[in-house]
Chain A
Amino acid sequence: MGDISVKVGSVNLKSPLILASGTCNFGRELAEFYDLSILGGISSKGLTIKPRAGNPGVRVAECDSGMLNSVGLQNPGVEYFIENDLDFMKNSGAAVIVNVAGHSYEDYIDMVKTLDPHKDKIDALEINLSCPNVKEGCMTIGSDPQAIKYITSELRKLTDLPLWIKLTPNVTDIKATALAAQAGGADAVVLINTLMGMRIDIRTRRPVLTNNTGGYSGPAVKPVAIRMVAECSQVLDIPIVGCGGIADYKDVLEFMIAGASAVEIGTACLVHPALPVDITADLEKYCSDNDLLLKDLTGTLQRW
């Protein structure tokens, strides 16, 4: 079978497939379907200093080829996570990516200070500067290059753990925000979080989501993500983790050719939980059939 191992900076992954934050909880439920050790990594549910109940009411609205969600970062809080879930993730055999969210600079700083003492169990911190479903923080910081550079450089001082900055596509120029993360000392950027959207019930004239808006994910957003990865790949020196609409092995190849060193898969697993098993086998076969190393595919895009 072909070699599908990849590297994201200093992080070695046995496969490019990482379960995307918010689509796998902490991995436990998916371990009922398949052996998680086949994965490159698992990115935890977005965590905050204090537990969050998330948004009330309807949190999902189906769309063409995807869905809107407005979960609103429901999570048990970072202390509970460290106590109850971190060991499970560590023992899964996949790299442990901890997704860090917040509402202010202080929140992110407190989070990294809380997580750093557990660095022997963590492979990278994914700094979520892009959740569209909380009222303050996250996306507000994530759409301002200066704020991104500032918070990244502050976090850089606090930990040696790789810092992956997860960026929002809801900006005019993704290169500017990605370069800001790099300038702040990020080890990688993760592109993209969800696209902000809305659906309306024409009978009641109300938004389907009780939060009014939500984040659009699924195969429909893939071309947007690919474009952003390709754009950033031209200007960045740090690696890119591609994310957005991956549903089969060809999607993985497309992201890697565009410039991604690894990828995250999420929404498609909500429909087919064991999908990574098939994609892993298909990637291995592709590499073997074509006699190549998967990692050599990164950034091989031939532009017109």
Chain B
Amino acid sequence: MAQKKEYRIKLVSIEFLNGDTCYLGFDCPEIAGSAIPGQFVNISAGTVFLKRPFGIASVDKEKGFFYVGVKVVGKGTSEISQFKEGMEVDCLGPLGNGFDFEGFDNIILTGGGTGVFPINFAYETLTAAGKNVTVCEGFRNASQVILNKPSYILTTDSGDTGIKGTVIAGLDTIAIDDPSKTLICCVGPIPMMKAVSAWASEKNMKCLVSMEQRMACGVGICLCCTVKVKDEGPDGFKNVRCCKDGPVFDSREVVW
């Protein structure tokens, strides 16, 4: 039964993608070999007490490396952004439930902010499997754009690059032949996921969202990172664990 492990892993690369977001590679064949898009890792962050969760952004199975993106928002992420190649950190992973693409011919991936990291992993996995993938990403302005590819639909709030508006403006440009065979996956800030969820619902499309909440353990034992989901009980909702029951949820289950 005992099989999950905490790994001591080496940082193999670190680079800044823009002013406050960096991209880190770690050597861990176990995680690189088994992770699926939407899963995350919990990484020890310098002097702070708790580990920090990050969605897996890419894996290189041959080298045994996996990658995460980190936006500096506080002390822990600031310390991680100053990590040096060759140093070792404690890591738990892969954690949580990833995206289930089974049964869909066409997949739309959409997101913004640090959500573009798990989107990147999903894109790489799906294109390698020969799936029909459309990506639409939204950012505040041109200086924030990261991990973008020419084939992606790009939107910005400022309009200084791509389509002016939110990802909804970008999603509206996609021709959807058969909504029942199309899956949309969204990773981004709550207002974005809520809007994408409503957009998908209007079109009768299944929508998966990757929720985010302040976490402590990441493995389902502390009940700190709750997500409110619909329930048939007297309250009409129940709190489930983002880390263990998610982070990926069917958007129709979430109480927004």
Q: Using a CB–CB distance below 8 Å, which chain A residues touch chain B?
A: 22-25, 29-35, 45, 51, 53-54, 56, 58-67, 69, 71, 74, 218, 269-274
Contact = CB atoms under 8 A, between A and B. Distances in A.
B155 to A, nearest CB: 28
A35 B3 CA distance: 10
Contact of B50 (A29, A35, A67, A71): A67
Contact of A33 (B5, B90, B213, B228): B5
Contacts of A35: 1-2
Contacts of B228: 56
B6 A32 contact: no
A66 B49 CA distance: 6
Contact of B223 (A34, A45, A58): A45
A142 to B, nearest CB: 21
Contacts of A33: 2, 4-6, 219
Contacts of A60: 50, 214-216, 222, 224-225
Contacts of B239: 53-54, 74
B1 A30 contact: no
B221 interface: yes
A273 B221 contact: yes
Contacts of A32: 1-4, 219
A74 B228 CA distance: 13
Contacts of A58: 213-214
B222 A270 contact: yes
Tell me if B's interface is mostly helix, strand, loop or mixed.
Answer: loop
B49 A218 contact: yes
Contacts of B90: 272
A237 to B, nearest CB: 34
Interface residues of B, number: 34
A54 B222 CA distance: 12
Contacts of A271: 44, 49-51, 217
7 contacts: A32-B3, A34-B2, A53-B235, A60-B222, A60-B225, A67-B50, A271-B217
Contacts of B220: 25, 29
Contacts of A34: 2
Contact of B219 (A22, A45, A71, A273): A273
B215 to A, nearest CB: 7
A63 B239 CA distance: 24
A62 B220 CA distance: 17
Interface in B1-38: 1-6
Which residue, A53, A64, A270, has most C-beta atoms of chain B within 10 A? A270
Nearest to A58: B214
A160 B212 CA distance: 45
B1 A31 contact: yes
A270 B1 contact: no
Contact of A62 (B5, B6, B49, B222): B49
B92 interface: yes
